[in-house]
Structure 1
Amino acid sequence: MTGDGRAKGRNGWHKGNIEELPSGRFRWRVWVTYPDGTRERRQGTVRTKTEAQRAIITAQKEAQEGVRPVSDRLTVGEMVTEYMAAKAGSWAPRTLWNNEKLYQRHVSPHLAHLKAAGVTPRALRAYFEGLNEKRPDPATGKTRPPLGDSAQRQIHVLLTGAYKRAIGDGLLRENPAQHARPVKAAKAGLAKVKAFTPEELGRFIGAALEDRWALPLAFLAYTGLRIGEALALTWADLQEDTKAPGVSFVTVSKTRSEFEGKAYTGKPKTAAGVRRVYLPGEARQIVEDMRRRVGIEARASGYQGEGLAPHAPIFPSVDGRPMRQDTARHTMRRTCETAGVPLLSPHALRHSVATFHLSQGRDVVTVAAHLGHAQTSTTLNTYAHALPDRLRGMTLDLATLRGETAKEEGQAEAAVPRLARKLGGRGRKGGPRRG
């Protein structure tokens, strides 16, 4: 340290100030100038004078490169809540509500108090691994079950977006969420995607067709739609294919869900979710059965729906109001018990359809388009368990190919003696032909 208040670094003299504190630590201060001409005072405390000198040099070098300091006060809780407040105007109400609940229940108790700049990818990976296990709820003391893959992905998207915003505001430099993703249940050694076997699915459909309330579930078993997509279908969405007489399809362009006692109709999860789903004959019969039932129910006193109007739902309740998802889940339980099959969720019907199509050899691109997946990798990653039978079948094809190759090789070997006989029973020596 010199008398004029300058600290000497390895690269020469650098203006700055170093002060020894009563605690024995050293406080450093330095004014830096950024490429845009703005000036800022950088400071900090370190253990030794040498570290203070290095900090001054580093601060000036970063300023020359336009790198601004990170916030050492911003917490994960502040970062995420500010991000959600900024996105509230562009997010759908359902998305905002869902992210707030995920934050309150699964993020805040574990990460909110941490400094955002101090969270490492390793710490985030440990956090996601913890979500795959049963754990006590800090608020209620009850044991929470492992969090599902979908909810973990949403938390990862929320953290990634919050970090990106903080980096854009110059508060942080690195996004640890880019290097720490949730571990899927299948990769963590937990249960894979739950689905019915073809035999179980057949028994389920048989039971569902006997129950008016379960007809939407039978429709899911034939089409693979999400429950929210099926309940959002209206009579205007049902159309005939003009290029293929007798073929019907539904246009999936919205989804219906409920939260906090209110119903919400919005767009599908991705742009690929807007699609045309062709109906097999059995699914079309279910729709026609609903048309007949709704026509009768609409004549009853106290009916609160709009019957067969174009914008009325295809699968309403008996009184005409839109059917709720929780009603479909209760019906799912009753139908599974009647059919004598494992108790699964309505979404398992979608998994069952996708698994069946892939196991039957349908190409992944077509199945992904039918399900409304934006990427075929989503289909492959989710339903890879449906492919082992097809892989085993490839060994037979390769054996057949080997047999054909051996046959061709035998024909080639047999052709050599014939060629030798044509040449007089002996091969001709190399070299130019002599006259």
Structure 2
Amino acid sequence: MGTPKRGHGEGQYKNLDSGKVQWRVRVTYPDGSTARPSGTAKNITAARLEVAAAKAEAEAGRRPLTLALTVSQMVTEYMEAKRARWADRTAWNNQALYRRHILPHLGAKRAAGLQPKDLRAYFEALQAGGLGDSGQRQIHVLLSGAYKRAVGDGLLKDNPASYGRPVKAARQAARVKAFTPEELGQFITAALEDRWALPLVFLGLTGMRIGEALALTWEDYREDPKVKGAYFVSVSKTRSEFEGKAYTGAPKTAKGVRNVPLSADAVAIVEDMRRRVLLEAGSHGNGVSPYIFPSVDGRYMRQDTARAVMRRTCEAAGVPLLSPHALRHSVASYYLGEGRDAVTVAALLGHAQASTTLNIYAHALPDRLRAMTFDRSALERPKDPPAKEEPAPTAAPAAAAARLAAVPRRPRKGGPRKA
């Protein structure tokens, strides 16, 4: 084996016993970082060409393929890079998906070695294990984002997640669970007897999300300056829990930031809560709660508490056992069934598009769809009514005739009238 030869800034070369030449060169990337890529060529000429190519790639910002990068390292680095931009719930959810489903099955595998067929088999195994379409879709988004970042950094050449996608299970479209108007009335009647169920009554009157209602503070409750005696709540945040952690964040979509008008019954619920909050403040000693719907100790009411209250209220009302979110579905279904336009209903619910509202609540429109019929007679052009005879013109009054005669006539210019 020969000794390394220095190339005066053009790299180092070493003759191997096999006759090949091993090369190594120091390169600098546009961001100022450096590296020492290396390789083996069949001769010195080929080695110099590979050195030149490595330097050119470095100047263009392209890094060499990293075969040692594992899926675990790739996904972890991606989540760390994105953490500042993700909402808390998104970050916690992705961490849970990584720990439960990615690390045990793919974590130790080389990221460059995974093929689309490997990912398809992985998603089929997740589906067989009971993970639904939504969970698989979130995992695919996480893997795809991690691969795109690695490809952009020059660590990998391909993104197998572009072709290795989960396949949705064949099944019938699920019907949105909601109360009928009669059931909703029964539920509200029973809920009014329970202090803990008053937030649920509010949901059944406004169609808000449970996290949006539980995040409401007294500053969000206002009188409409344009209409005396009309009130609304300003929705700008939501509160939720994930694996025991509570957080406050922005609404689900940009359209979720909105003002929700309140009916007289909804206003009565808020004013009743104001009275209760003041009374409870004297007993728990934590001061007046800033929340409209707090726990009895003035702290934020948790969603799992609301779900437990929902169960017992459904039983008391004799209605199907549904989740608090079903109250939102019930309000939307009621409005669409009553003929309210989808654009207005979407604005009330905070949906980004009216098409989302129609896609979710199409089941609420059967009566209106049944009315969308016509007979052949509706296509026939109605016959024109017979024309009315115009009355014969009457002679002008004598006074009018005299005025016309008195108007001076301008002489006609030119020669005799042409035939």
Question: In the alignment, what sits opposite 2:378?
Answer: 404
1:91 matched to 2:86? The reply is yes
**Whole-Å separation in 1 of the counterparts to 2:193 and 2:207:** 20
Please give the secondary structure, in 1, of the residue aligned with 2:178: coil
**Whole-Å separation in 1 of the counterparts to 2:164 and 2:338:** 36
Question: In the alignment, what sits opposite 2:284?
Answer: 302
Question: In the alignment, what sits opposite 2:149?
Answer: 165
The partner residue of 1:322 within 289, 297, 300 is 300
**Whole-Å separation in 2 of the counterparts to 1:356 and 1:122:** 46
Matched residue type, 1:85 = E
Structure number with bigger Rg: 2
**Whole-Å separation in 1 of the counterparts to 2:36 and 2:67:** 16
Instruction: Output one character per residue of 1:324-355: Cα deviation in whole Å (capped at 9) or x when no partner.
Output: 11111111111122122222222222223233
The partner residue of 2:348 within 362, 367, 370 is 370
**Whole-Å separation in 2 of the counterparts to 1:182 and 1:292:** 52
TM-score by length of 2: 0.71
Instruction: Output one character per residue of 1:345-393: Cα deviation in whole Å (capped at 9) or x when no partner.
Output: 2222222323333333333333332222234444344334444544333
Structure 1: gaps of 5 or more residues: 1-18, 22-26, 45-52, 136-144, 416-435
**Whole-Å separation in 2 of the counterparts to 1:198 and 1:148:** 31
**Whole-Å separation in 1 of the counterparts to 2:116 and 2:344:** 37
The partner residue of 2:72 within 70, 74, 77 is 77
Matched residue type, 1:80 = V
CA contact (8 A) 1:30 1:43 kept: yes
Please give the secondary structure, in 2, of the residue aligned with 1:243: coil
CA contact (8 A) 1:29 1:41 kept: no
Please give the secondary structure, in 1, of the residue aligned with 2:380: helix
TM-score by length of 1: 0.68
Inter-CA distance 148–370: structure 2 relative to 1 (3 Å threshold): farther
Structure 2: gaps of 5 or more residues: 1-15, 41-45, 387-419
Cα drift, residue 81 of structure 1: 0.9
**Whole-Å separation in 1 of the counterparts to 2:161 and 2:352:** 22
Matched residue type, 1:196 = F
Inter-CA distance 155–249: structure 2 relative to 1 (3 Å threshold): farther
Inter-CA distance 228–243: structure 2 relative to 1 (3 Å threshold): same
CA contact (8 A) 1:131 1:146 kept: yes
Name the Cα RMSD after superposition: 4.2
Please give the secondary structure, in 2, of the residue aligned with 1:391: helix
CA contact (8 A) 1:222 1:353 kept: yes
**Whole-Å separation in 2 of the counterparts to 1:248 and 1:261:** 34
- Structure 1 window deviating more from structure 2 (271-280 vs 377-386): it is 377-386
Identity score, percent: 63
Inter-CA distance 82–41: structure 2 relative to 1 (3 Å threshold): closer
What are the within-5 Å matches in structure 2 for residues 236-385 of structure 1?
236-259=219-242, 261-299=244-282, 301-307=283-289, 312-385=290-363
What are the within-5 Å matches in structure 2 for residues 190-229 of structure 1?
191-229=174-212
Matched residue type, 2:225 = T
